[in-house]
Chain A
Amino acid sequence: MLCNYSCGSNEHVMARRQFLSQMMAGTAALGGLSLFSQPGATAQLNSDQKRIVVFNMHGGLSQLESWDPKPGTNTGGPFRAIPTSVPGVHICELLPMTAQQMHHLSIVRSVNTAENDHGKGAYMMLTGRRQTPASNFPVLGAVAAKALTPSDSPLPGHIVIGGGNGNSAYLGPKYSSVSLNGNPPPNIERLSSVELQADLARQEMRRKLNERFRSQRRSALTDAYTYSFEQAQQLMERKDIFDVSKEPASEHERYGTHDFGKHCLLARRLLENGISFVQVSHSNYDTHNENFDFHLEQLGEVDRSFSTFVADLANRGMLESTLIVMLSEFGRTPNINVHYGRDHWGTAWSVLLGGCGIQQGAVIGKTNDNGTAVVDRQVDHGHLFHTYLKAVGLNSSGSFDIGGREVPLADPAYSPIEELLV
């Protein structure tokens, strides 16, 4: 087994030229694409921009060491359950600070995706569909970028922090993920060899030449180029929002100075500045060996940073417009193996949600006493994907118009988890 199977690479770091090329490709693609089959949908979105943040726990977060502890059973492991800010709801003792934010959050404890493969599980959880050779679907981040980002925004709508990348499929490259690693993006600054005045003069000349050309030969392609240059220019002017080092030292201290803390703080900064979708990845939970030691290590980082993030969104009035999701590609086996590890387990595990459109302090579904099976309100990736979309005000039964062909936003065979929604 290769455990760092899906850590991806950070080679897709945010770059001005990359962004420029995505804009051009994306704008060109827009020629044959409309947002929704429902006429009112776009207006609905413009009224109040909603945002989504996904915490992707690479490798498979153990539900028993997080949201569905079973202490004292043959599968429970060494950790205890602790009470939370929601009376009667207990989570694992590894998350004491998050426990104090549970009144902002809800747990779905009855996820059964029946998939134990890393790649397939990740695809299902991020696209809401089962992977097939004949089809390719956009990830949640791409859907959110297209559906939730105002058309005049100069900013990319789909950002992944800390590894991985998001496929936009038929939505076009404009909605593919832009990857950040917590450092200021490279190549976003004006070249030091180009003086400001020279740069302005060059832009002005480009603008005049472009206007002259457009006045005689305007086409979708020329519009795309114009759009791309202008967006890139605006992006350069707002480059600071990608630079988490601009946050005060006291904020870094609150979030924790490790990578995950920095990434959570960057996520807050991006969301505050109007980015529609941010995915924060944390690695690695593929704990076939020493599951308990490694969850202790990993969740020790997560607890402080994540709880601070949730509290900040609540205190800043952002929870009402921001959907929070913490997911993995699957959970981990109730059985503790010979190496004090837990293995892949898609049969009975948990996903955490909160914020925009989500009930506060709810627990949906139930597993049996030792966590080996779902015994109430079984759901899977399809239900969850519908729920994410509906929570941010989208009609999850709607469709994209792809060259005249209607493509459903979410798998039509499923529906949202209505009792979880506000």
Chain B
Amino acid sequence: MTNEVTADAEEKGETVKADPAQTHVDTQWQTPSPLVSCRFDPTGKYVVVGGEDYTLQRWDLTSGTAISFKGPHDSWVRSLGFSPDGQTLYSGGYDGRLVWWPASAETPEPIRTVQAHDGWLRSLSVSPDGSQIASCGNDRLVKLWNAADGSLIRELVGHEHYVYSTLFHPNGEILLSGDLKGVVKQWNIADGSCARDIAATPLYSQNSGQGVDYGGVRALSISPDGKYLAAGGLHKATNPLGAVNEPLVLLVDWEKGEVVHNHVTEGVNGMSWRLIHHPDGYLISGTGGGGGGWIMYFNADQDREFFRFQMPNTVRDMDLHPDGIRIATAHYDRHIRISRMISKPA
């Protein structure tokens, strides 16, 4: 992936570099139901979204036309992933199912369905070489699947609470998973052993007045240089049942396993739903909640964001296009929005 692209190549042929300060909504499409997830495909041709109506839609970024994926899910699809070549789409649902799809087929039919988890499948991640899929869920398990045939390779047991997020390290040897109580586990993929726990406990809170546990590691990202792990979620949860909380991203020194920065977004009510490190090194956080939808940009050397961009509606998921310029955001108001980190066309 490169951040140097030919922006509006079809029109201008100019090479441009992503500039977060220029972020603007370029395109939006309305979908049949409130959205809960979104991902760009690695070829950069499509964005796929999951909605509260249990279906998936594939939007062609050029033509703006959509095709629905209807099939085995009978719950919300909250997690999506692609094989590195973009040929296979993986969807994970709150029905516990993991489904293989032909990503670019004209009339997509499921290739394979696995009952992956007992209860919600909350997150999935595809290994850098595409050979394995990791999934995690409310059964407190992390599972590794053979992408080629859907067989279970290994169960990773150790989380004591719901597992909210999982992510392959870019080196392909390590898997990360984060749970409700703010524990991030580092797993060795080769043998399934847990190398260490990384404390992200500020992302969890227990409200005794309301009698609820709240928070969790909602998002994970590794910096391009491998020096940092980012874990996202929320803090300052003074009223969990009323959505009164603020986003928090913990930046962890990878070697030491210690938090070096608390990326806070003061004055914004909500949580970080997705984290992605841009190839240029900064961190992008898709944030949504009572304070609306925001894209926040953080550098590794400071707590506060260096730029924030407000979206027209709350953000529930986010992805970065392979061009490093476009950002997709999934919204409650039934829209998928494509933003660009370059100046608006004149």
Contact = CB atoms under 8 A, between A and B. Distances in A.
Interface in A278-292: 283-284, 286-290
A1 to B, nearest CB: 5
A80 interface: yes
A191 B213 CA distance: 39
Interface in A233-266: none
B243 A341 contact: yes
A31 interface: no
B33 interface: yes
B33 A3 contact: no
A288 B76 contact: no
A283 B210 contact: yes
B239 interface: yes
Interface string B221-258: 00000000000000000011111000000000000000
Given A79-B75, A294-B212, A339-B290, 18 more contacts: A1-B239, A1-B242, A3-B210, A7-B210, A59-B241, A72-B74, A74-B53, A78-B94, A79-B94, A80-B74, A283-B210, A284-B241, A288-B242, A289-B241, A289-B243, A296-B138, A297-B213, A298-B212
Contact of A289 (B33, B75, B242): B242
Contacts of A294: 212, 240-241
Dominant SS among interface residues on chain A: loop
Contacts of A34: none
Interface in A1-22: 1-4, 7
Contacts of A1: 239, 242
Contacts of B34: 336
A283 B289 contact: no
B314 A284 contact: no
A4 B210 CA distance: 5
Nearest to B77: A78
B95 interface: yes
Contact of B33 (A74, A283, A286): A74
Greatest chain A CB density within 10 A among B33, B95, B138, B240 is at: B240
A77 B51 CA distance: 11
A238 B240 CA distance: 41
Contacts of B240: 3, 289-290, 294
The size class of the interface chain B forms with chain A is: 20 to 34
A287 B34 CA distance: 19
Nearest to A93: B119
Given A1-B242, A72-B74, A284 B210 contact: yes
Interface string A119-131: 0000000000000
Nearest to A337: B332
6 contacts: A1-B242, A4-B210, A7-B211, A78-B52, A78-B120, A289-B242
In the complex, which of the residues B138, B214, B239, B243 has the most CB atoms of chain A within 10 Å of its own CB atom?
B243
Interface of A: 1-4, 7, 59, 71-72, 74, 77-80, 283-284, 286-290, 294, 296-298, 336, 338-339, 341
Interface in B270-288: none
> Which A-B residue pairs are the 3 nearest by beta carbons?
A289-B243, A3-B241, A4-B209
Nearest to B239: A3
A271 to B, nearest CB: 24
B73 to A, nearest CB: 10
Contacts of B242: 1-3, 286, 288-289
Interface in B18-57: 33-34, 52-54
Contacts of B52: 74, 77-78, 336
Contact of A80 (B53, B75, B239, B313): B75
A79 B33 CA distance: 16
Given A2-B239, A3-B241, A289-B243, A284 B211 contact: yes
Contacts of B239: 1-3
A74 B54 CA distance: 10
A75 to B, nearest CB: 9
Contact of A78 (B33, B75, B209): B75
Contacts of B332: 338
A389 B54 CA distance: 44
Contacts of B290: 339
Contacts of A4: 209-210
A287 B314 CA distance: 18
Nearest to B288: A338
Nearest to B244: A289
A361 B239 CA distance: 38
Contacts of A339: 243, 289-290
A178 B94 CA distance: 42
Contacts of A287: 241
A132 to B, nearest CB: 29
A303 to B, nearest CB: 13
Nearest to B119: A296
A283 B209 CA distance: 9
A258 to B, nearest CB: 10
B75 A283 contact: no
A286 B242 CA distance: 8
A2 B238 CA distance: 10
Given A78-B75, A78-B76, A80-B74, A72 B210 contact: no
B241 A288 contact: yes
Given A74-B52, A78-B94, A339-B290, A288 B243 contact: yes
Given A74-B52, A80-B74, A297 B212 contact: yes
Contact of B314 (A2, A336, A338): A338
Contacts of A289: 240-243
A71 B76 CA distance: 11
Given A78-B75, A283-B210, A72 B54 contact: yes
Contacts of B94: 78-79
Nearest to A282: B211
B33 to A, nearest CB: 7
Contacts of B212: 284, 294, 297-298
Contacts of A288: 241-243
